[in-house]
Structures are given as structure tokens and as C-alpha cells.
Amino acid sequence: MKSKTKHKSLIIIGGGSGGLALAGRMARLGLQVGIIDHYAQLGGDCLHLGCVPSKTLLAIAKQGIEGDWEQIKQHINQVRERIQPRYSQQYVEQLGCEVVIGSPKFIDPNQVAIFSRDNLSHVIWQAPKIVIATGTRPMILPVPGLDKTETYTNETIYNLESLPKSMVIIGAGVTGIEFAQAFQRLGVKVTVLVHSERILRTLDKQASELLSAVLKKEGIEIYTRAKIKQATKVNAHKINLVIEHQDTLMTLETEVVFLATGRLPNIENLDLDQAGVPYHAQGIIVDGYFRTKAKHIYAIGDVIAWPHRYAHMAEYSAKIVSRHLYLKNFAPKANLNWVPGVIFTQPEIGSLGLTEQEAQEKKIAYDILYWEFKALDRAIIDSRPQGFIKLLLVKQKVVGATVVCERAGEILAELGLLMQKNLPIQAILETIHAYPTWGESLQRAIQAYLDKQQDKQVMPYFIPWKIISWFCKR
């Protein structure tokens, strides 16, 4: 039986952070927006399986209380439920969007078939504009025997019936390291295996080494240059992992294995070839407006072939697409020079722009502003003096930043504004910062740097020094 085709102004495939942000913007402009999502509840990975539950777990672990696992999971669910209304189907339908739960497949560049979950029926939507926002999923390592063991990811870890006594985490990126500290603080003996020379290898080396030292002090074992060769389930509470560590074979015992080895785009069931949308193993290929090669089809968020897999970047890409849909080529392209990233360990690590290694690879001549938090009164008050601010400067403008401290994520926003508005660091000194706060650290760091650069009082950045010197000699 032929399905009736329903016409929309815009089809959004995926009801996560990016898809819902875009849907809200375009519905308010009067477009007929249709949202397709595979899951029964909207909100995507960030709300249900990623940011929200993991940061809630970290917040509990920071209290240093080895609590009951069922109570911890109950609290995580309560947090989800408090946030869910802003991402609910009812909310977006009130904005004027239509939502269908099912599995989408492209029929041609303008039509999408939506199959029911039992695959017995389908409807067809047609639109002049389509946006793909299907996100990613954890990558599973093809290790012999691993599929027969108690193996978890960020999506399944909350299925644990109780806290294990031990856990091996394979992977030392953001996900692996956040969960490592959380579970260690909840009383689990955690071991981390990392293939590279250090944890968090894409971040500033000094920040990586500082956090590595903190984790080891808390009791976490870290094996660098490690490869897992074989997994064997011995019994219900014991798994043997054969690893190659710095060219030596050894066996580790653990109760569960946690995989944090990267993510894969959710694209294999979309029939993208039918729509003429190019892609590869890392995701969908887009231009500066997040358009695919099929110019009426866009992709946003984690499904894109890019390294910026954050909820805030999903929303940013949604904003760029919404502007382009409305203003066409008069809209600004995406600027990815100041993408913030935060690791919510204790201390936090916040990064923005270039690292030293990236600046060197680009052959950019830069100066370094380096300042330690042991000189900040708030850090002393909170007994958290560990950490530093490192800014890469070109003509006293920030091209890269790394902040390690208790509230690094909050400090990044002010640095991002500096970079976006192309302002020199002296602009920070024109803003009054409350005392004693963590945000005050930028003012202290910049003042100390400028004092070191020139042995004279720092004047407002917009007054040339030659004029000051001339005036003082009169």
C-alpha cells in the first residue's frame, strides 16, 4: 500500500540538543517543522546518556561519599526528570512542531520514509530543507573475548546492579578520565589503559600531566602505551585482560570493563547515498554553513566529521544553520577558532583555541602568559590552590587558552569573548571583577603578566604608551 506523503517546510532528523534548538528557532519563524527521532524520549545522548548523568555522577563523587549505587542512580534519574520538560515532545509540539518516533531513511534527496519501530508500517515526509542531527554512539573495540565479558560504555554503565570492586577503563579521553575519577571516589578500584604516551593527549601537555598526577594520588593506576590483546571471563566477578604495556605482556584482573575508546556517527541506517550526502567513518562532510554536498541538506552536532562533539557545539551549529536558512549566503559562516571544551574532573580543565603544539605546527610565533592559582585568594580560601592559567598570545591577543582549576569551565567564557571580539588581554582589566571569586583569576593573571612585561603602571589598553610617555615628560 502506497503511503501518503506529508509536506513540511523543514525536516529535522534527530531530537537531541542541536535538533531541538534548531526546531525551536525555525518554528518561531512560522515554518512547518517536522522532527524524527528514533528514541521514545527526546533530548538525545546529552540528556539521557551523556553530559547530564555523567556530570551528576561526578558531582556526587566530589562529595567524597561512597553511597548506595541504587540511591545514586535514583538521584541521576531525578536530575534527568527535572531537566526533561525543556526537551519534551509536548514542549516542542507547543511550539508548533510535529514529532514522529521511528526510524528514518532517505528515499531521495527531498523525501524521508519514517518506519515504525516494528518496521511494519511507514509514513513519508517531504521538504525543501532537511537537517541531519542523529548524533553518535560509543565505539566497541574488536578485542578477542571482550564481547563475552561484563563490558560497559557511558550508555550502559547505569545498568550496573551494584558498584563493582574493580574496573578497568579502556581509553583516556574526556569520557574515560571523568568516569575514572568518579568511580574511584565512589570506592571502586580503577585502572586506566591508554594507547598513547599520556592521558588527554589532545590537550595541553602540562594540564594533562597535572591531572594525571592528581588521579594517581587518588589511587587510580594508569598504564600508558598499553594495548589490550585478549579478554577472558573467569567467573561472574572476575575478568582477565591480557595487555601489552610498553612492549611487555601482562595480565590484569578486574570485575568490569568500561570502554571509552571513541564514538561513531549514527548514519549507517539513513541511506545517505539516496540523498547524495557524502560521509566517511568519522561522520558527514559539511561546509562552513553546515551544508552537505546536497546543498539543501545540512548536518549539525556530533554526526559531523569534526572533533567538536559537545552539546554546546550542537546548539552552535544549529544557530548557524538557522541563520543560513533565513538569510542565505548573507549569514555568517561558522568560526571554530574559539571552541570551548571542559573536562569536569577535580580540578577541571578548560581549553579554548590552540594548544602550544598546534601553534608550533602552524608556525605561529606566540608569547606565553602563565600564572598559578596558588596566588588567588579564592583558591586559598577553598583549599584548592592547584592549577594554572596558560594563554598563548599574539600581539597581546589570545589565540589559545588552557585553564586548570576548580571552576575552569566558567572562566573560559570571558576568554571566549576576548577572542570573538578580537580584543587584547588588557580589556579584561577594564572590567571590575568581584572579590574573592574564581573569575577574578584572569584579571590577576593578566595584571601580573603585564607588570612583568613592563616596569610601569598598566594604563587602559586603548591609550598608546608613546602618548603617556610624552605627557609625563612635559
Find the CATH number of the domain harbouring 442: 3.30.390.30
What nine digits make up the cell of 84? Answer: 526533561
Question: Does the structure show a pLDDT above 80 at 48?
Answer: yes
Q: What is the mean pLDDT of residues 116-131?
A: 88
| Three-state secondary-structure class, residue 59 | helix
Structural domain harbouring 231: 146-261
The CATH number assigned to the domain holding 111 equals 3.50.50.60
Distance of CA 418 to the CA centre of its chain: 21
Residue 357 within a domain: yes
Buried b (16+ CB within 10 A) or exposed e, 45-59: bbbbbbbbbbbbbbe
Above pLDDT 70, what percent of the chain?
Answer: 95
Residue 361 and residue 291 share a domain: no
Residue 58 within a domain: no
Domain count, the chain: 3
Q: Which H or E run contains 55?
A: helix 51-62
| Three-state secondary-structure class, residue 209 | helix
On average, the pLDDT of the chain sits at 93
CA–CA dist 429, 266 (Å, integer): 46
Model confidence band, residue 226 (pLDDT cutoffs 50, 70, 90): very high
Residue 318 and residue 239 share a domain: no
Of 168, 171, 190, give the one whose Cα is nearest residue 257.
168
What nine digits make up the cell of 182? Answer: 568518579
Above pLDDT 90, what percent of the chain?
Answer: 88
Residue 325 and residue 234 share a domain: no
Residue 161 and residue 309 share a domain: no
pLDDT at 469: 55
283-302: per-residue pLDDT in tens? Answer: 999 999 999 999 999 999 99
Question: Does the structure show a pLDDT above 70 at 463?
Answer: no
75-87: per-residue pLDDT in tens? Answer: 999 999 999 999 9
Residue 450 and residue 367 share a domain: yes
Residue 412 and residue 273 share a domain: no
What nine digits make up the cell of 359? Answer: 601553534
Q: What is the mean pLDDT of residues 444-471?
A: 69
Residue 164 and residue 110 share a domain: no
Question: Does the structure show a pLDDT above 70 at 457?
Answer: no
Question: Does the structure show a pLDDT above 60 at 438?
Answer: yes
154 phi/psi in degrees, rounded to 5: -65, -20
Cβ atoms of 347 and 211 closer than 8 Å: yes
| H runs (alpha helix) in 330-462 | 356-361, 377-381, 408-420, 440-453
315-349: per-residue pLDDT in tens? Answer: 999 999 999 999 988 999 999 999 999 999 999 99
CA–CA dist 353, 168 (Å, integer): 32
For every residue of 275-335, DSSP letters joined together read HT--EETTEE---TTSB-SSTTEEE-GGGBSSS---HHHHHHHHHHHHHHHHHGGGSPPP-
pTM (two decimals) = 0.92
Among 330, 355, 373, the domain boundary falls at 330
Residue 161 and residue 273 share a domain: no
